[in-house]
Structure 1
Amino acid sequence: MIYLVLLLISFSLTYFIKNYAIKKSLIAHVNERSSHTTPTPHGGGIAISITWFIGLVYLYFTAQIETNLFYALLFGFIISIVSFFDDIYELSPKLRLITQAIVAIAGLYCLGGFDSLTFGIFDIQNPILTNIFAFFMIIWFINLYNFLDGINGYAGSEAIFLALAGFILFGGNHFLVLIVAVLGFLYWNWNKAKIFMGDVGSTLLGYNIAIFTIYYANQEASNFWIWIILFSVYWFDATLTLIRRKLNKEKLSQAHKKHAYQRLSQVGWSHFKVTNYSILLNMVLFCIIYFVSNIFIAFMFALIFLILVMKFIDSKKRFE
């Protein structure tokens, strides 16, 4: 029953935010980075955030979530607040980065740090090294999720896939809360979007995925690679694009339209088609995890698969 209530909250809030944004002219205008062609209301991620934190508090008071995970996820509230104002006032990159750093440290503290990073043949257990790695990983996940939020349904469907995969593999009602929180918004964002998520939603989702990765890796070191594979459509595209732009000697802070999903849009693929194909890619990655017992062999299969996908995208629209 609670999940139906949360779904209705997310759905209704998104509807009211959409109408309010139109009334107050809070519109995402078309610019050099945009993949959309018409001005559209933004800030729908507020509905995701509010619903998510209501559900999170409910889970805590009904003893359905571990205390350390609850508090680590709760610090995402700070990310949401700052990103909300960033959507409206365009805050300085330095302020956003400082906020992300503070939240990353707080989240890591709540989880008791990052215990071990395993590579199969050897492990890194030095707490200084593992926690420095985890700190930068959290910040990277926050930002790359924001980078990849650019077309209708893309960021929302990715969040639902990750939460659904997490529930199947690990259990945990927090995944169900995340699914319904995003699903209510996604109704208004799917295919011909009536509202966009905005930073307030995308940065929170990126933070949540980072926290899930560390939390479950602390339970079993190999779980780290499960989350890396599940999230690989996003981090592979974002990381490879960043490296390519660096090799091209581009200014990395400059807006661009060179991510894989953007290049597919440029050659005529509809947002609907790109998003649906990304869902298909995710399903293949899940099958690799589910049916290949050795996680490191699974990672190599996933990496080869993604390289082939990127070569296909490069054949459609060359990276320039």
Structure 2
Amino acid sequence: MNVLFSFIAAFCMGLAIFPFVIKWIKGSNLMDLPGGRKIHKEAIPSMGGLGILTAFSLSIVFGLSQIPSNRYQYLLISLGILFLIGFLDDWKGLSAFHKLIGQLVAFGLVVVLGEVRLVSFYGFLGVGELPLWISYSLSVFLFVGLTNAYNLVDGLDGLAGTLGLISCSFLGTWFLFTNHVIEGTICFIMTGSLLSFLVYNWHPARIFMGDTGSLPVGFFIAAFLLLFVQFNGKLPDYSPYKFHAPITTGLMLMVVCCYDTLRVIVRRLKRGKSPFSPDKSHVHHFLMRMGYRHDQVTLLLGGIKCVLIILALFLRGGQDILLLPGFTLLIVALGSMLNAITLKKVRIKVRNSPRVLAKSPFTVQKIHKEYKEEVRDDPSFEV
């Protein structure tokens, strides 16, 4: 009952808070302006993380009388650090170096003092418990990768919120079924906060998440993924809730973010560009080029993630040594098929466009600009 109360409290608080957050952001002129690689057409308030983290924090205070372990105190402190980094980046802009330094402080705090880390490979590749220095290093690396992967997928109305909602719901349910009530409650508090955000972020969005939200929420999911792997490893083999491929299952909870990030980095490196250079080559950009709306892309990617999680659930008796390469091949095959379909549809759309000479100069410029946006992210486009 306390879990349900906490979830409802977070959702209701978020619903009440967001109108004030939107009004304050508009009054402060902290708007996300269109143009460049932005795909929205008008100025929209950013910093939706203000509402998410406020609803989450208040619900933690009301829903949990105390956090019974230093682990979660440090986790919440690190969450606050990531929120501050995101807020400053949305407000004034931070260099990538300063953002990374701030993130490393937060991640080091929760890994070393909070003991939220990958402690073992649980037999994967024949490796069991990890030496302390490898555990610390690998855990910080995972936090950096997973947090920023989630941050990069925040480019479409409702997408980051929906993907985060799915992960937190699964984790919260699993923690409750395995009698980790505190962890389950915290996850459902975040679920309620994200659900209230989606009410205002669903297409057409009235507010964006921004780094203020994507950095702390991505960190939150990464932290509870590592806790899931830890606690899962302590379950007896006969437990119906044990995943014998915890690493694969954990990655499925971040599958869209991880695939999109790796795909973009590889594409940029192949073209001789910096892997950190911004462009419009993310998976959601490709799906938008196929003619889908924001909400349709969000539902499609969220649906794919749910299917993969359900598949991992049914195959929970399998081992990482088999499931990890199997799921990797499946995801790469799905991505390749998506690329082929997208390129075909874009070529058809460009080929069927009215001839340039039949257009006014203004329209010619507009078509030329749109075509350049279509082809600049993939040199294989041909008319």
Is TM (by shorter chain) over 0.5? yes
Moved over 6 A (4+): none
What does 1:288-307 correspond to in 2, within 5 Å? 288-292=311-315, 293-296=317-320, 297-307=322-332
**Deviation at residue 56 of structure 1 after TM alignment:** 3.1
1:117 counterpart SS class? coil
**Deviation at residue 34 of structure 1 after TM alignment:** 1.4
Identify the residue that residue 33 of structure 1 maps to in structure 2: 37
Identify the residue that residue 204 of structure 1 maps to in structure 2: 216
Identify the residue that residue 267 of structure 1 maps to in structure 2: 290
* Contact 1:104 1:135 survives alignment (8 Å): yes
The structure having more radius of gyration, on CA atoms, is: 2
Pairing partner for 1:170 from 171, 175, 182? 175
**Deviation at residue 188 of structure 1 after TM alignment:** 0.5
| 1:274-310 deviations in Å (ceiling 9; x for gaps) | 0010121011112112111214244344323322221
Identify the residue that residue 6 of structure 1 maps to in structure 2: 10
Please tell me whether residue 249 in structure 1 is matched to residue 268 in structure 2. Answer: no
CA–CA distance in structure 2, aligned partners of residues 165 and 252 of structure 1: 31
Name whichever of 297-306 and 198-207 sits farther off. 297-306
Identify the residue that residue 369 of structure 2 maps to in structure 1: none
CA–CA distance in structure 1, aligned partners of residues 147 and 295 of structure 2: 24
| 1:208-256 deviations in Å (ceiling 9; x for gaps) | 1111122222223453332112211111111121122112211233221
Name whichever of 234-243 and 293-302 sits farther off. 293-302
CA–CA distance in structure 1, aligned partners of residues 231 and 294 of structure 2: 38
CA–CA distance in structure 2, aligned partners of residues 70 and 298 of structure 1: 35
Q: Which runs of 5+ in 2 are unaligned?
A: 177-183, 234-244, 344-376, 379-383
CA–CA distance in structure 2, aligned partners of residues 35 and 15 of structure 1: 24
CA–CA distance in structure 2, aligned partners of residues 272 and 123 of structure 1: 42
**Deviation at residue 163 of structure 1 after TM alignment:** 0.8
* Contact 1:245 1:252 survives alignment (8 Å): yes
Pairing partner for 1:191 from 203, 225, 240? 203
Q: 1:87 to 1:26 in 2, by over 3 A?
A: same
1:308 counterpart SS class? helix
* Contact 2:83 2:213 survives alignment (8 Å): yes
The amino acid of 1:91's aligned partner reads L
Identify the residue that residue 229 of structure 1 maps to in structure 2: 252
Higher relative contact order (CA closer than 8 Å, sequence separation 6+): 1
The amino acid of 2:305's aligned partner reads N
CA–CA distance in structure 2, aligned partners of residues 2 and 215 of structure 1: 21
What does 1:140-155 correspond to in 2, within 5 Å? 140-155=145-160
Please tell me whether residue 277 in structure 1 is matched to residue 300 in structure 2. Answer: yes
1:152 counterpart SS class? coil
* Contact 1:163 1:179 survives alignment (8 Å): yes
**Deviation at residue 174 of structure 1 after TM alignment:** 1.1
Name whichever of 284-293 and 298-307 sits farther off. 298-307
Q: Which runs of 5+ in 1 are unaligned?
A: none
Identity %: 20
**Deviation at residue 23 of structure 1 after TM alignment:** 2.7
CA–CA distance in structure 1, aligned partners of residues 254 and 326 of structure 2: 14
Identify the residue that residue 241 of structure 2 maps to in structure 1: none
Identify the residue that residue 111 of structure 2 maps to in structure 1: 108
Identify the residue that residue 76 of structure 1 maps to in structure 2: 79
* Contact 2:6 2:63 survives alignment (8 Å): no
TM-score w.r.t. the length of structure 1 is 0.92
CA–CA distance in structure 2, aligned partners of residues 138 and 279 of structure 1: 22
Identify the residue that residue 366 of structure 2 maps to in structure 1: none
1:239 counterpart SS class? helix
TM-score w.r.t. the length of structure 2 is 0.78
2:124 counterpart SS class? coil
